[in-house]
């Protein structure tokens, strides 16, 4: 890692990062709370238990997808703020808006999982994801600009971090469209997010390596 990684963010920024981490961590861990725990009668056999678990399959998938999504948002937050050094009050509002959307994820996940295949819950979930993605793109753009960004932050890393943020937006948009056509497949569309990120990152890397090579 580069030199600029060794100096941490200033205290006021560090506390904001810390607070954000706590919200991310709570939201990601609360995801399982909404999965109802199956309570079968004592005499229930293996097949009954497997049936009860199978019935909750949408909840398990919903948990995994939302875990991956929140992890992706944390990832972007971690990368973007890793390039920031200075604090200014202007970062608070956009950061809180992102956190508000993240805090709403457990509800949206449970709503979609409990009503698997229904249009409205799936559309709501994908819409929330799209909004969160846009709030995320805006926040990342902000903290990788003056006065927040480290003066020694490599230009190519800033470009990559900003572009990557669009991956979730694109995936959520595809999911949103699919939720109107075939809701049961919408979550699968979110699986394209890593692909989008890879494509976006690739589009900037060649140009970037030339710059850093120059």
Q: How far apart are CA 13 and CA 67, in angstroms?
A: 26
Q: What are the structure tokens assigned to 1, written together?
A: 């890692």
Among 65, 73, 91, 106, binds a second copy (CB under 8 A): 106
Among 111, 125, 166, 196, binds a second copy (CB under 8 A): 111
Binding mask 13-42 for a second copy (x = CB under 8 A): -xxxxxx-xxxxxxxxxxxxxxx-xxxx-x
104 sits near a second copy (criterion: CB under 8 A): yes
Among 69, 91, 98, 110, binds a second copy (CB under 8 A): 110
Three state DSSP letters for 13-67: HHHHHHHHHHHHHHHHHHCCCCCCCCCCCCCCCHHHHHHHHHHCHHHHHHHHHHH
Name the 3-class secondary structure at 84: strand
Which residues 53-82 are close enough to bind a second copy by CB under 8 A?
53, 63-64, 67, 71, 74-75, 78-79, 81-82
**Cβ 107 to a second copy, closest distance in Å?**
4
Which residues 134-193 are close enough to bind a second copy by CB under 8 A?
none
Nearer to a second copy, 6 or 206 (CB): 6
Q: Which residues touch 25 (CB under 8 Å, ≥6 apart)?
A: none
**Cβ 188 to a second copy, closest distance in Å?**
19
139 close to 169: Cβ distance less than 8 angstroms:
no
**Cβ 98 to a second copy, closest distance in Å?**
12
# chain residues binding a second copy, by CB under 8 A: 72
Q: What are the structure tokens assigned to 96, written together?
A: 């809180």
**Cβ 207 to a second copy, closest distance in Å?**
20
138 close to 58: Cβ distance less than 8 angstroms:
no
**Cβ 86 to a second copy, closest distance in Å?**
6
Q: What are the structure tokens assigned to 63, written together?
A: 């948990």
Stretch that binds a second copy, among 94-102, 138-146, 184-192, 200-208 (CB under 8 A): 94-102
Nearer to a second copy, 96 or 188 (CB): 96
DSSP state of 149: B
Upstream peptide bond of 147 is cis (omega within 30 degrees of 0): yes
């Amino acid at each position: 890692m580069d030199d600029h990684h060794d100096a941490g963010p200033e205290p006021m920024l560090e506390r904001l990062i810390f607070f954000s981490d706590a919200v991310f961590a709570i939201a990601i861990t609360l995801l399982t709370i909404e999965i109802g725990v199956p309570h079968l009668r004592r005499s229930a056999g293996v097949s009954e238990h497997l049936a009860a678990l199978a019935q909750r399959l949408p909840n398990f998938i919903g948990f995994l997808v939302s875990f991956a999504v929140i992890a992706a948002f944390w990832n972007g937050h971690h990368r973007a703020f890793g390039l920031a050094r200075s604090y200014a009050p202007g970062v608070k509002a956009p950061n809180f808006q992102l956190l508000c959307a993240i805090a709403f994820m457990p509800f949206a996940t449970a709503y979609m999982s409990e009503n698997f295949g229904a249009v409205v819950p799936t559309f709501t979930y994908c819409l929330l994801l799209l909004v969160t993605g846009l709030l995320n793109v805006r926040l990342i753009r902000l903290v990788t600009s003056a006065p927040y960004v480290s003066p020694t932050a490599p230009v190519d890393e800033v470009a990559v971090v900003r572009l990557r943020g669009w991956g979730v937006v694109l995936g959520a948009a595809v999911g949103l469209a699919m939720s109107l056509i075939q809701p049961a497949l919408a979550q699968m569309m979110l699986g394209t997010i890593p692909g989008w990120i890879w494509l976006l990152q690739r589009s900037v890397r060649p140009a970037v390596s030339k710059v850093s090579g120059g």
